Structure 1
Amino acid sequence: MSKRRFPCLLACALLGASAALWAQPQTFGSAAHLHWDADRYGNHRYLVQVTKPADAVHVVIPWRRRDLHPEQVAVIVTGPDGKVVANVLRGAIDQASGELVFEARQVGVYAVYYQPYLSNGRSNYPTVNYATPKDTADAGWASKTGHDAAHWRKLPATPVLRYEGVSDFDAYTAMERVATPTEVQQLLAAHPAQVLWLFPETRAYPVRMFDQLPQRWAQRGPGGELADQALRGEYLSFQIGLWAPSAALDHVQVAFADLHGPDGAILPASALTSFNQGGVDFTGQPFSTRVDVAKGRVQPLWMGLDIPADAKPGEYRGAVTISADGVSAQTVPLVITVGEGNAVAHGDDDPSKLTRLRWLNSTLAQDNTLVKPFTAVTVHGAQLGILGREVQLANSGLPAQIESRFDERMTGFAKQPRALLAAPMQLLVQDANGTHALHATSLPNVQVDGPAKVHWQVAGDAGPLQGEVTASLEADGTLSYTIALKATQAVTLKDIRLEMPLRGDTAQYELGLGRTGDHAPADFNWKWNVENNQDGAWIGAVNAGLEFHLRDENYLRPLNTNFYHQQPLRMPTSWDNAGQGGITFKRDGVRYLVNAFSGPRTMAAGQVLRYDVVMRITPFKTIKPAEHFAERYFHKYDDLDTIKADGANVVNIHHATPINPWINYPFLEADAMRAYIDAAHQRGMEVKIYDTIRELSDRAPELPMLESLGHEIISGGKGGGFSWLQEHLDGDYIAAWHVPENRDAAVIDSGQSRWNNYYIEGLDWLARNVGIDGLYLDDVAYDRTTMKRVRKVLQAHRPHPLIDLHSASQFDARDGYINSALLYMELFPYIDRLWFGEEFDYEKTSPSYWLTEMSGIPYGLMGEMLQNDGNPWRGMLFGMTSRLGWSKGSDPRPLWQLWDSFGIEQADMIGWWVHDAPVKTGREDVLATSYVRHGQTLIALASWAPQSTTVKLQIDWKALGLKPGNATLKAPAVAGFQPAAEFKPGDAIPVEPGKGWLLILE
């Protein structure tokens, strides 16, 4: 499956007057005539043999098509010379067969292409429409040939040779050849009392059609045993297809019995799993799913048997019982032959075996252990401590105070903490009698779940409402609150709101709620709107901030990156309150009051509303400039010696490359990937791969099984997209990224499903077996729970795991005007750098925007620039360059060379945002960041001034350890950045708009 092969040849039906004849499969070599232009002719054809030239020949193609309206799709006939035959007439066209008459002037093999399509070319989101029939026949020829079936039957009959797909992957499988209406009726007549129809199938024949019966089942009939073979220690996947032709089947249930083997050996029923009925979700919690089958639908029920490594070889017999409401249960015998040999890793090294389905229920790395660099949560009564931060709880369970000990440089910790709150947070209920704060009689009793998590519960009152608070704090700084408010009797309320009084000197910057990163507004009002992916904001300073999101029990992570409106934010019933809720900001003296309100409402007796809040305290960790400057990224698959010669030492491998060809399914070229990574390690280099969750390649062997789970994993949508998706999926999906070069197409998958469990196991497998050093994440769809697990499995197996995150700007109507930094902030504790990104504006945005939206520094990250290779002068204020290898114009090597000659890895980075920075300009539109070493300092200057200007540097000589009388200020020549120049420390330095300097003071 991992390489493009020659066209797949399937046995095909040759229809006579009353019977079907099946030819044997044939293998063809590399004969050129087997290849064709799929964009012109489509992916499927039948070959027919003409033995004598004729004005017209007659053929019936037994195509058994799964597309519902073949009569609306064109047919193209080509001759032995490859030229299109214009004189073609169409007869009866339906799913079972197609009748054609065509001119055959040459002896030889003719091809009948029967699903030609029209595509918009090399688009990564193609629109593929199937060509409609056109009359190309000459009128005289058509008149002479005739149009009636009786006349056509007198014409020379052309035998059908075989079916071919343009590749083995594109070819229709035996499970996609539909039963004819006659065959279906004969099947129903043979079993008139049957309601629950069961068709056992091994993993070799995955069900591909959910609204039509395959010919294979119609000919075989229902029932029979499921017989298969497996090795000891193998995980054996299989399926039982269920068909409901006459009535819907509700609440389908699966029950297993023990399998009995040789000499009394048993494979217990507990070793069997029914995947369609539920499992373990992405948070590690068990769940169940109700399976209902609509009338006329086919529902494959996928199952798995975990065979112990010490199982006694031999034949085991057991049974699977299937039942539904009001329907007699049926039993399918299981006959599993366990071989003498032992499977390696349950068989997981071969994805085609589908042994990896067991990964769907994995709980790997689902625990409360620590992730570097975080430290254990400390508990001293109601005082909680985490890395660089502390939280004091009030009686309500809400924060009474939050403090940060990160210093402004973001490389260490300050002696004195910085407070975020001007007063305790309060949840307030307002009625006719006044305003009531949620409170309890005593401080919360904090319980330790593990070194990385603690939790507490509070029961209290808020005027007429009873409140229950369940909350937790994790080592990364995440505060999660589930707040249930219950009315003991019918009540009319004026408001329920959360007040977060921040300190005004800490509330410097803000992003979110429809605002890009900038100085926090003095006065701001926001209302809920499903068109916008907005439910919270981040407010703070570089070294102390608070992110918050307002939710309820129905929260589901929206789709992102072009697909938000296909699964938008679910408005929280409590906070939104039918459009009456919102958020206000108000700067009031020393306070910056954030007020999340929900407005007036009535509550019935016993009614419960959930006012959930998720907060995150930033920064998450310190930045590490020395490591950042030492890791030089090459963002492209290329020759390793060439990459190393260019000065890079970390290689990001995209999908659509020889060693990682398929998007988000990096398992089909594992040997080639391993060889490349081994070679990189021998050169002292690291290799990271593109692998995430957002879309899934059609090359994943598990895809048919995932379809059987409804929309648990594959997001529902309008279908369409590349031809393979339209021809092999059932239509209820969202077409995603497509790579024309290797015909890789993908569908959107959910960011909160069991596929996350599979993903974690897959990363573990890659780290152990392939040696990947980390991940390149491209606009991911999963949340912090999965991101923690990602970090844990990589840390468990790799000495220096690296994860970087790229995002295109999400701040547009298509994506619901969400800031990329806010969208992904929950992941920031577990990644190493940012690459923001496509559609980010590096020229017309402010220093505040750069700081909060792109640099990552207020959150404990550093990054690089992407769009148009960024602005190198402004980038150096934040330690950012472009990446090598991504575009022809991107060449950070001259800057890297300056870094190395100066020794930037040994320097202290002191950004322009630090209040006592040793070098300043005295201006807000020309800024300076210092890289300080013993005896010399590299000064980065960059301008936002609209015109050319000059600046005089304000230098704290003592802080730099330099004497002004002996100091020189030189600009080394840097290709593409600056010419060589020399200034005196007191000179007025000219600065061009949008540019700057790198000056060495020594």
Structure 2
Amino acid sequence: MKNIKSLLHLHSKQLLFIILVIAFNFLGYSQSEVKYGIAEIPWEAGLGNHRAILEVPKKAEAVKVNFSWRRHDKNPEKRQFVIINSRTGETIKNIYRIEINNEKCELVFGPVKKGIYNFYYLPFKPDTEWGYYKYGYLDREKSPDKVWIANNKLNDIKELGKLPKAICTEVQARKEFDSFFPMEVITTKEELKNFVDGSDSNYIAITEDRKYPIKMRDQLPLKWIKEGISGSFKGNAMRNEYYTFQIGIYASKSTIKNVRLQFESLKSSNGDSIPASAFTCFNTDGIDPYGNAFAKQVDVAQGRVQALWVGTDISKGVKAGTFSGNITIKANGEQDQQIKIILHVSDEVIVNRGDNEPWRHSRLRWLNSTIGLDNEPTKPYTPISIKDENTLGLYGKEISLNNTGMPNAIKVWNTEVLSSPIRYVMDGEKIDKYSLESSWDKLGTVIKKYTANSDNFEIQTETVTEFDGHLNYKIKLVAKSDVTLSDFRLEIPYQSSVAEYMMGMGLPGTTVPKHHLSKWKGPQDSFWVGNTYGGLHVELRGSTYHGPLLNLYKPEPPKSWDNDGKGGFSIEKKEEETIATVFTGKRTFTKGEELVFELSLLVTPVKEIDSKAQFTNRYYHNGLAPKPKEEEITDGVKIINVHHANKYNPFINYPFINTKEMRGFVDEMHSKDLKVKIYYTIRELSNHATEIWALRSLDNEILGTGKGGGYPWLQEHLVNDYNPQWYSPLEDGIDASLVNAPGDSRWYNYYLEGLSWLVKNIGIDGLYLDDVSYDRRILKRMRKILDREKPGSLIDLHSNTGFSKGPATQYTEFFPYLDKLWFGESFMYDEMPPENWLVEVSGIPFGHMGDMLHAGGNPWRGMIYGMTVRYPWFTDGVTCDPRDIWKVWDQFGIADAKMIGYWEKNTPITVDRKDIKATIYIKNGKALISIASWAPESVEVKLNIDLEALGLNEKKVKLYAPEILKFQEKRTFELTDKIPMIPNKGWLLYLE
């Protein structure tokens, strides 16, 4: 009775539409509905992810089948068909196609026996190697035998109708993950026309439960037409749940502009309410990764479907009951439509807002998270102290700003980096006195704004200094008249005693040349000049993407600095001063035109080196088998990096599915006093991500666009508008990822909340980053999350010089928040000079240490910088095993020793050749000496050891080489002996 009363209140056209849908359901489906199911036992993967079960009534030379398979994937007529007798395993020889399209399949096959046949219509070639999927669908089957066609008169339409009929009893997916049912089962054109004709609106709004994400963007699912339009949504929620649901907008008759939702409070009969402010539409509003609110305009093209994901924040304090209210759908030029919302809230309180169960989609609220967005310094940094109006005190640093806002002086501990102030020069312009307009400071950030004027420009400068020694500048020029500026230059004068090494702007890690000129190519957007005592990294900003240079994301040259190819970089080294110059060349301004030159500076080293951690925290990094054996733990393993594509962390950058397995592994390793870090980054996203369809509804904000293709699952479900990325065959399936959209997106917020969840719920001890696309601001938030949730958590970063063109240059701004570097993939260690090792591999000039990778590294040269490979990583045919060197470390007690490298100003050990380098580790009256050769041939060298400085008695000391497997033979030397050196090799010597 209640339903009849509610129908009577509907608009007459709405009522007519519902009646039509009911009639259509009653009349239209009994003839052609197909059952959808999942195979009890998955069949061979190469036969494809889908099949039809065909029942043949009797033995025949040919049988005909005609059924609606309602497919959404492209080009079904181009795929190979395979029909197999389920009992005998025989493959049918002849398949005669009559009509194949997305709606239906009509064909003849034979000869057959009575029984069940499996019809596989999407076979492909599997790829058993991880990387990038290399194959695809199989070519169409061979044409049927001409004699068979003739004998069965298949070219005669009348005779076709006389053939025995095979019946499709079920359409099956190989696994549940492969299934099209119910949201990818399409309607026919006729069904869609009848459905649309029943509505007088230009668009149709249909609500959908979170359990059934809207997937198709150009088709309606059969489910919607069968169920009809209710104009309401009913859901069951719990107290403390972040509840989500969907509203699908189908632009049935014209393009719909600026679709948006207006929320009202939901009220309960018990007097309680869920306020309108508790609702969010993720498609129309959000918070970016830097805490800024934004709105998006949602337009729906004619014939397209747009999913609107709605989140409802149900508080723990709400009373159980049934809450109801309306959501109003608004669009430009369209009549408002209302959706009635009815939420039954139980008395049960759900944990973690529902985040522990991904299917609830409660974690969509993570997209708008501001976790870690504050000014509080991370360890070991301290709040900025204001020593006077222009002098700022930071952890280990002091920066003095002049009246232009530029650094007057930069002191790192006791080393002054600059020889004179950093300056910018505007050729031909006389700049009046600068004035400080405003200054703001809070804990870890100081912001100053300056103004000045020249003859033809107003100049506005904003400088932001942060606790980690990072300074960002935005220099805005506003033209007062039409004018030509011959050049805008940034000049950085370094002390030549500091400017020993450099990298970037076309140069690998090297000694600073007397002169170098570079244009914006590669692209190059940053450089570093300095030594292990002090330095300055400079990034020229202004392109649309500010993250590191990756194979997937390539920053354009900053337009203001590049100036259509006229800009560039030069460096000149003289005896006292080394000047790095960024020039832009001539450009013309029109009156009122504005141009911003943005740059960021980072003072190095960013922190003091923790050599104890380097020699103590030894990594177990074994890709697919992350669990070490007991003897390997005894040999010194302390930290385990769990890569992806294994049973604990199978899905790339989405460690939220096998959480039970991962939690068990973490607990087991913790019981053995080991830390566990996991692979979890942003660049690509697994197709197993629960929220993938919600993310897709955000247009290309989070998932990148592309031509599609790749692994068949992607082609069958996403169909188009995506870019396939990393592929991993798993023990029980595949992981086929998609490229994330370049640049900033709310997925960063989700990623950070995900990190917090993993630390709190899985117990991980940090992250292993394998190339990332975000910038330092996100890493700073990560560091805060780890330090607050679990002090002592670690972050290490891996990169590949093959496409990063010098990862140390690209990732310098990350260094304040990292614990270790692993810049080693594609590094040719035997070909790299010492300065390249020091600057780009070791991390030492920046306050870090690292590990080697490619082909097992070079153990002799690695020890010069305190590095070994990671055990037991397999790379380029080499299994890395540094355990024999670790034993020497432990026997000597290297973790508590003082490391003095050849790069230090005062070292107690030198050698008599420049191409032989030595580093000494000193501890309690004894030393461990590392010597390595960069000489092109075998040579002998004399060690010059200052025994007095070491506190050793010449008459009592001995110098000997312990036996180290695959490293050196046992040998004793006199202090006066010449040490034989083989190219690319060296020694580890005890001096005691």
Matches for 1:160-179 after TM superposition, within 5 Å: 160-179=168-187
Q: CA deviation at 1:18?
A: 8.0
Give the SS at the match of 1:241: strand
Q: CA deviation at 1:622?
A: 0.8
The corresponding residue for 1:410 is none
1:270 to 273, 277, 280: 277
CA distance in 2 between partners of 1:207 and 1:233 (Å): 25
CA distance in 2 between partners of 1:545 and 1:338 (Å): 59
2:45 to 28, 35, 38: 38
CA distance in 2 between partners of 1:83 and 1:106 (Å): 10
Q: CA deviation at 1:918?
A: 0.7
Contact 2:942 2:979 in 1 (8 A): yes
1:27–1:45: structure 2 CA closer, same or farther, 3 Å change rule?
closer
Q: CA deviation at 1:240?
A: 0.7
Q: Does 1:699 align with 2:688?
A: yes
**What letter corresponds to residue 558 of structure 2 in structure 1?**
P
The corresponding residue for 1:426 is 423
The corresponding residue for 2:602 is 616
1:787 to 776, 779, 783: 779
1:990–1:165: structure 2 CA closer, same or farther, 3 Å change rule?
same
Q: CA deviation at 1:344?
A: 0.7
**What letter corresponds to residue 377 of structure 2 in structure 1?**
L
Q: CA deviation at 1:268?
A: 0.6
2:869 to 882, 906, 909: 882
Q: CA deviation at 1:222?
A: 4.3
Matches for 1:229-378 after TM superposition, within 5 Å: 229-378=236-385
Give the SS at the match of 2:177: coil
CA distance in 2 between partners of 1:17 and 1:319 (Å): 32
Contact 1:539 1:545 in 2 (8 A): yes
1:437–1:894: structure 2 CA closer, same or farther, 3 Å change rule?
farther
CA distance in 1 between partners of 2:950 and 2:696 (Å): 63
Give the SS at the match of 1:159: strand
Give the SS at the match of 1:575: helix
Q: CA deviation at 1:221?
A: 4.0
The corresponding residue for 1:726 is 715
CA displacement, residues 759-781 of structure 1 (integer Å, 9 cap, x when unaligned): 11111111111110111111122
The corresponding residue for 2:620 is 634
The corresponding residue for 1:5 is none
Q: CA deviation at 1:627?
A: 1.5
**What letter corresponds to residue 54 of structure 1 in structure 2?**
A
1:980–1:639: structure 2 CA closer, same or farther, 3 Å change rule?
closer
CA displacement, residues 706-739 of structure 1 (integer Å, 9 cap, x when unaligned): 0011111112222222111111114222211110
CA distance in 2 between partners of 1:521 and 1:857 (Å): 21
The corresponding residue for 1:154 is 162
The corresponding residue for 1:510 is 502
* Runs of 5+ consecutive residues of structure 2 not aligned to the other structure: 1-24
CA distance in 2 between partners of 1:336 and 1:281 (Å): 29
Contact 2:35 2:170 in 1 (8 A): no
CA distance in 2 between partners of 1:319 and 1:833 (Å): 53
**What letter corresponds to residue 840 of structure 2 in structure 1?**
E
Give the SS at the match of 2:841: helix
1:484–1:403: structure 2 CA closer, same or farther, 3 Å change rule?
same
2:831 to 817, 830, 844: 844
The corresponding residue for 2:933 is 943
Contact 2:909 2:946 in 1 (8 A): yes
CA distance in 2 between partners of 1:102 and 1:966 (Å): 94
The corresponding residue for 1:548 is 538
The corresponding residue for 1:959 is 949
Contact 1:427 1:437 in 2 (8 A): no
1:309–1:842: structure 2 CA closer, same or farther, 3 Å change rule?
same
2:814 to 814, 824, 827: 827
Q: CA deviation at 1:16?
A: 12
Say which is worse superposed, 180-189 or 986-995, in terms of deviation. 180-189
* Runs of 5+ consecutive residues of structure 1 not aligned to the other structure: 1-13, 406-416
Contact 2:959 2:973 in 1 (8 A): yes
Say which is worse superposed, 712-721 or 334-343, in terms of deviation. 712-721
The corresponding residue for 2:641 is 652
**What letter corresponds to residue 218 of structure 1 in structure 2?**
I
Matches for 1:61-72 after TM superposition, within 5 Å: 61-72=67-78
TM-score, structure 2 as length reference:
0.94
Contact 1:695 1:746 in 2 (8 A): yes
The corresponding residue for 1:7 is none
Give the SS at the match of 2:879: coil
Contact 1:643 1:649 in 2 (8 A): no
Say which is worse superposed, 572-581 or 755-764, in terms of deviation. 572-581
Give the SS at the match of 1:617: strand
Q: Does 1:448 align with 2:444?
A: no
**What letter corresponds to residue 133 of structure 2 in structure 1?**
P
> How many aligned residue pairs are there?
956
Give the SS at the match of 1:507: coil
Contact 2:210 2:359 in 1 (8 A): no
CA distance in 2 between partners of 1:148 and 1:275 (Å): 56
CA distance in 2 between partners of 1:425 and 1:645 (Å): 53
CA distance in 2 between partners of 1:157 and 1:330 (Å): 47
Q: Does 1:48 align with 2:54?
A: yes
The corresponding residue for 2:886 is 896
The corresponding residue for 1:599 is 585
1:458 to 447, 450, 462: 450
The corresponding residue for 1:409 is none
**What letter corresponds to residue 231 of structure 2 in structure 1?**
G
**What letter corresponds to residue 708 of structure 2 in structure 1?**
G
CA displacement, residues 786-840 of structure 1 (integer Å, 9 cap, x when unaligned): 1111111111122421111111214xxxx3x631111111111111111122101
CA displacement, residues 189-231 of structure 1 (integer Å, 9 cap, x when unaligned): 222x321221111101111111222222233444521111110
Contact 1:61 1:160 in 2 (8 A): yes
CA distance in 2 between partners of 1:687 and 1:336 (Å): 41
Question: What's the % identity of the aligned pairs?
Answer: 39
1:194–1:667: structure 2 CA closer, same or farther, 3 Å change rule?
same
1:15–1:524: structure 2 CA closer, same or farther, 3 Å change rule?
farther
The corresponding residue for 2:195 is 187
2:222 to 215, 218, 228: 215
Contact 1:574 1:610 in 2 (8 A): yes
1:400–1:621: structure 2 CA closer, same or farther, 3 Å change rule?
same
1:674–1:129: structure 2 CA closer, same or farther, 3 Å change rule?
closer
1:982 to 972, 978, 983: 972
**What letter corresponds to residue 297 of structure 1 in structure 2?**
R
CA displacement, residues 59-94 of structure 1 (integer Å, 9 cap, x when unaligned): 113211112322222222112222321211111111
Q: CA deviation at 1:147?
A: 2.8
Q: Does 1:394 align with 2:402?
A: yes
The corresponding residue for 1:436 is 430
Give the SS at the match of 2:258: coil
CA distance in 2 between partners of 1:573 and 1:997 (Å): 50
The corresponding residue for 2:740 is 749
**What letter corresponds to residue 426 of structure 2 in structure 1?**
V
CA distance in 1 between partners of 2:36 and 2:588 (Å): 71
1:497 to 489, 493, 501: 489
CA distance in 2 between partners of 1:528 and 1:985 (Å): 52
Q: Does 1:868 align with 2:852?
A: no
The corresponding residue for 2:795 is 803
CA distance in 1 between partners of 2:493 and 2:454 (Å): 19
The corresponding residue for 2:10 is none
1:234–1:930: structure 2 CA closer, same or farther, 3 Å change rule?
same
CA distance in 2 between partners of 1:20 and 1:487 (Å): 74
Q: CA deviation at 1:513?
A: 1.4
Contact 1:234 1:306 in 2 (8 A): yes
Say which is worse superposed, 218-227 or 288-297, in terms of deviation. 218-227
1:540–1:355: structure 2 CA closer, same or farther, 3 Å change rule?
same
Contact 1:200 1:239 in 2 (8 A): yes
CA distance in 2 between partners of 1:844 and 1:692 (Å): 31
Contact 2:382 2:394 in 1 (8 A): yes
Q: CA deviation at 1:758?
A: 0.8
CA distance in 1 between partners of 2:28 and 2:759 (Å): 59
The corresponding residue for 1:115 is 122
CA distance in 2 between partners of 1:25 and 1:60 (Å): 16
TM-score, structure 1 as length reference:
0.93
Give the SS at the match of 2:365: helix
Q: CA deviation at 1:21?
A: 4.9
Give the SS at the match of 1:455: strand
1:20–1:570: structure 2 CA closer, same or farther, 3 Å change rule?
farther
